[in-house]
Amino acid sequence: MGLVLPPMEAYQVQHLPIVKAYADKIGLVETINQVVPTEMAIDPGTILLGMILDTLSGRSPLYRLVEFFANQDTALLLGKAVAPEAFQDDTVGRVLDRLYDTGTMKVFTACSVRADAKTRLGQDLSTEITSEEAAVPANHPIRSAMRTVVLHD
């Protein structure tokens, strides 16, 4: 009797595991789950990560997220096995409603602060005055718009 191998599944994931790795690095799902309270069966951070992955892979309409995740390795891309049916448009709509109720600026700020803390991007930024800016009188309105941000190693 020969060796019997289990059936193999293959998915075309393209760049999405890299996006997932960055989301993990900045704690995206955890931050959203902390800021957006819900009693849903699936957490809002996972739904939002799924929407981000879908958008960066070609953008399906919300009602087609179930189709998109039917052909994806959710354990790889979302960090846990999630049934495609979890992305039904009414579930996604409820998460979007909760995001709105919480305040999109509050959610964005929490994610940005966490990303900055994890990646330390803010410590490498400084501003310099350019020669063009120095030639503009101090009270001229364009002066405030003339800022150059320089990245230092």
pLDDT tens digits for 85-111?
A: 999 999 999 999 999 999 999 999 999
Same domain, residue pair 103 and 33? yes
| Residue 143 belongs to a domain | yes
Same domain, residue pair 129 and 115? no
Global model pTM greater than 0.85 = no
Whole-number pLDDT of residue 27: 94
Same domain, residue pair 46 and 67? yes
CA distance 56 to 125: 27
Instruction: Summarize pLDDT for 68-82 with one digit per residue, the tens.
Output: 999 899 999 999 999
Phi, psi of 151 (to 5 degrees): -90, 130
Give the long-range contacts of residues 44-50, CB within 8 A, separation 24 or more.
44/95, 44/98, 44/99, 46/78, 46/79, 46/80, 46/82, 46/86, 47/86, 47/87, 47/91, 47/92, 47/95, 48/95, 48/99, 49/20, 49/23, 49/78, 50/77, 50/78, 50/82, 50/87
For residue 99, give its domain range: 16-119
| Residue 26 belongs to a domain | yes
